[in-house]
Amino acid sequence: MSNRRGPVHEGLDVTIDAGGPSIDGVAMVASGQADIGQLSSSPSLMLAVSEGVPIKAFATGAQEHPYTFFSLPENPLNSPEDFAGLHVGTQATGEILLNAMLAANDMTRDDIADFTAVGADVTPLLSGQVDVWTGWLTNTAQLNQLPEGSHQLRLWDTVKRPGFMHWPGVHRVSRGRVAGISCCGGGREVSSPPWLGGDGGVVFVP
């Protein structure tokens, strides 16, 4: 826990366990092994809530999520409407984000040519297997492989409805009472999207 002046330790009895890419923050909290967990995957949080897992998100570590749709100069992707007729490749966990983005823009999977599950390698886009490939805009190693003039469309910019899908990561999740927590940086209060299991505001009480 911290405030703008730095870490705050007084009056707190906190145990911090080691994390890492092999640690499932959702599973740790849902099973009762931890009171608060951390994860960087919005889809895993959405899927958990949709399956009735009693967890809620109460804070994020980034103001705008870097999840991005990439396309080559010959198939420019500048808006959700440009997805029509394109072959879309995304990681398996990102399929739920694709579906949500299409629905938010009054589109369906029938509007795209097809969907292909791809990995973190940008080769499917460069080889023409897909017209659209997804990754994080902050991953410079991947961006350096894209040719000059490639297009970038952030998920953040595809939906203009307040409170819908604009919940950036990394996420902190809890299954208990959480009070006095502000999220999204700078102490700015926001409303929570319904798929995160919250009922608005920054304090979630089951």
Instruction: Output the pLDDT for position 205.
Output: 25
Closest CA relative to residue 134, chosen from 93, 79, 74, 102 = 93
Do 153 and 75 fall into the same domain? yes
Pairwise pLDDT comparison (17 vs 134), residue with the higher score: 134
Q: What DSSP assignment string belongs to 2-14?
A: EETTEE--TT---
Pairwise pLDDT comparison (54 vs 201), residue with the higher score: 54
Residue 164 three-state SS: coil
pLDDT, tens digit (0-9, with 9 covering 90-100), for 67-83: 899 999 999 999 999 99
Domain presence at residue 23: yes
Token couple for 189:
């209060």
pLDDT, tens digit (0-9, with 9 covering 90-100), for 128-186: 999 999 998 988 888 899 999 999 999 989 876 544 444 444 445 555 433 333 333 33
- With beta carbons less than 8 A apart as the criterion, state whether 73 and 158 touch: no
Pairwise pLDDT comparison (2 vs 190), residue with the higher score: 2
Percent over 70 (pLDDT), the chain: 71
Domain presence at residue 204: no
Enclosing domain of residue 36: 2-64+167-196
107 pLDDT band (50/70/90 cuts)?
very high
Do 140 and 80 fall into the same domain? yes
Burial 127-158 (b: 16+ CB within 10 A, else e): eeebbbbbbbbeeeebbeebeeebbebebbeb
Domain of residue 142, CATH code:
3.40.190.10
How far is 52 from 25, CA to CA, in rounded Å? 16
How many domains are contained in the chain? 2
Instruction: Output the pLDDT for position 9.
Output: 63
**Strands 87-90 and 132-136, bridge-based pairing:** parallel
pLDDT, tens digit (0-9, with 9 covering 90-100), for 23-49: 888 888 888 888 888 877 677 787 888
Instruction: Output the pLDDT for position 174.
Output: 55
Percent over 90 (pLDDT), the chain: 30
